[in-house]
Structure 1
């Protein structure tokens, strides 16, 4: 890529980015020099270059404020921002934006897959398959499914993922309730076309944080989709699971630490809830000694619900749209509120 003589204003990209997007970045911001160092660590970047960086597009390459005194904006490659607050970036005055919205399609499909598999008895099919036989005619009632239609879906954290879960669930005729703290309930983040619930019109009812347990009590499916913050850490605890019906199906696609894992294990073993689908855990990778591996009424996957072959392209779309807004002095999408932590 041809370098300009504007090396004093630099966009440093340490995330994976196709060459076509690099050209688009230079087109949007011709006054900047674009430096691409995929997956470089902080120490791999010279002090001279750090001093020129005004915009940083990265997963977790976070300089100290002293290293990058001219840093004004950090676009994260990830949808979550918790790693940024455990780094030197926490002391920086730079604006931080996330890739919120990038996971909406694939994680919502993962969530609906687990719900359909659970209520249509796929675990029981697999159990009998392993036996090498089917039950007799009378025992076939073991396979009697339940329908999603008419069930109450509780989306705890009505962000981009939760809104796409709600959109898909509405097509199945589910009643939707949600926890979302903005008074207008609109999605203020980056929105891909025809995805989610931008206006926040799908839920039949919104509930505030102080009615959390009340909402759990009326839920047939509970989906944890909150960001990890001090307020959400451990919010799904023994009291929360006791508040749920013993027929409730719990899905965690947020972060492992929003759930007290010991309390969840107890709730599953004691049938305080019917079952769970877990893609995230307190310790990752989940150690083989975890009791979760031996619990039959739980689906598990190794934190892969966010994987999609379209990830890089979608993140690039978010970054370049934010870059367009940055050079025009417009508000950026997915700006992190440092006090709220997301």
Structure 2
């Protein structure tokens, strides 16, 4: 370690950061000593680095509390907060912040892509293409699309992803419902410019959890975007699917365990709902024996809606802004509330 670091505040980074951002981070304050250890495990990092570390930016390298007695803040590389409740630092007073907002653009586009593909009958086009023929009537009936305009979109969980979905859907003329527990509907997390709904003005109606089933009954599309917590685990159960329209489409880009998968399977098989877009599952990878693979009314992807070539840059941008705020003693973006579970 650099001997001059002893009088500085040590920032340890095990996440991926490109060269341009390394320079930007160094320029935030002359009082910072930054250690870049990409992909390093806890054991790979020297004891003296852990001893001096005050800030950690990581995906999953968490020391024991006694290894890093000066650690005050952990910035997670992930948008999820599971790591704050698991592992050696779970019971500490260390501040955890997430990369919430990093997925808004790409998952927002994923949701719009799948909705458009569903209502414009792309699965049927692909089925006929595989047959190397077209139906005799040129498909007028079975290829007849539905328009997004005028449909009701229910966003269950109005965080950064849900807000970007709302922004895009509003441009298509959809009516927006949003589950939001707070009275203040503004977005207080990290926000990229021109993304999402910062002021919370796009939904036509907000509802609380006690109106959940009623809102499901009004919805043509239901987008699941809540974090996985003890409260949300299994919230989409038999009763929830029974409350939905038979013509409704479910899109789950949250976590598989938010849905009771057996109840979902039954709802799809018995056509209690029209179809589902599933990027997440109870077990991942989804076993080949799962009946979900056989259903024609299901779009499935292998938990890839969050993939983007811009992830590292966006996660680092969130960390950089938080590091500026940390140095100034200001409130950090995306702080994890351990009582709420996210």
What is the RMSD computed on CA atoms of the aligned residues?
1.4
Aligned to 1:295: 295
Preserved contact between residue 269 and residue 295 of structure 1 (Cα < 8 Å): yes
Q: Is residue 2:124 matched to residue 1:121?
A: no
Instruction: Name stretches of at least 5 consecutive residues in structure 1 with no aligned partner.
Output: none
Cα distance change on mapping 1:237 and 1:7 into 2, 3 Å: farther
Deviation digits for residues 184-240 of structure 1, max 9, x if unmatched? 100000010000000000000000011111110100000000011111111111111
Deviation at 1:140, TM superposition (A): 2.6
**Deviation at 1:265?**
0.8
Give 1:34's aligned residue: 34
The CA distance in 2 between the partners of 1:63 and 1:186, in whole Å, is 35
2:203 is matched with: 203
Structure 1 contact 64–92 (Cα < 8 Å) conserved: no
Match of 1:170 in 2: 170
Secondary structure at the counterpart of residue 276 of structure 1: strand
Q: How does 1:174-189 map onto structure 2 within 5 Å?
A: 174-189=174-189
Query: Unmatched 5+ residue regions in structure 2?
Result: none
Deviation digits for residues 280-318 of structure 1 (CA, Å, limit 9, x no counterpart): 111111111111111110101111111111111111111
Check conservation: 1:8, 1:52, Cα contact below 8 A: no
2: distance between equivalents of 1:183 and 1:155? 17
TM-score, structure 1 length as denominator? 0.97
1:9 aligns with 2:9: yes
1:138–1:107: structure 2 CA closer, same or farther, 3 Å change rule? Answer: closer
2:121 and 2:298 map into 1 onto residues whose CA distance is: 12
Give the secondary structure class of the aligned counterpart of 1:141: coil
Which segment drifts farther, 24-33 or 314-323? 24-33
Is the 2:8–2:31 Cα contact (8 Å) retained in structure 1? no
Counterpart position of 2:281: 281
- Cα displacement (A) at 1:138: 7.0
Partner of 1:93: 93
Cα separation, 1, equivalents of 2:5 and 2:225: 45
Distance 1:72 1:150 in 2: 49
Verify: 1:45 aligned to 2:45, yes or no. Answer: yes
CA contact (8 A) 1:6 1:32 kept: no
Aligned-residue offset at 1:114: 0.4
Whether contact under 8 Å (1:185, 1:200) holds in the other structure is yes
Q: Which residue of 2 aligns with 1:220?
A: 220
Deviation at 1:23, TM superposition (A): 1.6
- Aligned 8 A contact 2:84 2:336 in 1: no
CA distance in 1, matches of 2:232, 2:316: 29
- Structure 1: 4+ residue segments shifted above 3 A: 1-8
Q: Distance in 2 between matches of 1:161 and 1:329?
A: 28
